[in-house]
Amino acid sequence: MSGTDDIKNNAEKLAGKVKEGVGKATDNERLEAEGHADQTDASVKQAGENVKDAGRNVKDAFDH
């Protein structure tokens, strides 16, 4: 995975945590839910990147 993707995913996850926290603090359930969803999306993207990396590692292991 590129470092850029990792940074983007972590930034998205952090933004989701902030949004969720603001939602909790202001008793805004919609904002809280959006923040949680943003964190979930970032985690799914990260997992996809990890799967791609694992596939590349397996391919590289058999190519050598």
DSSP state of 5: H
Dihedral in degrees, nearest 10, Cα atoms 14, 11, 28, 44:
-90
Identity (one letter) of the amino acid at 45?
Answer: K
Output the six-digit token pair for 56: 């590349």
- Give the pLDDT score at 59: 81
> What domain range includes position 9?
3-63
Tell me how many domains the chain contains: 1
- pLDDT, tens digit, 9 for 90 and up, residues 3-56: 788 899 999 999 999 999 999 999 999 999 999 999 999 999 999 999 988 888
Please state the pTM of the whole predicted model: 0.79
- Give the pLDDT score at 15: 97
Confidence of residue 63 (pLDDT cuts 50, 70, 90): confident
Residues 6 or more apart whose CB falls under 8 angstroms from that of 1 comprise: 49, 50, 52, 53
Residue 1 reports pLDDT greater than 70 = no
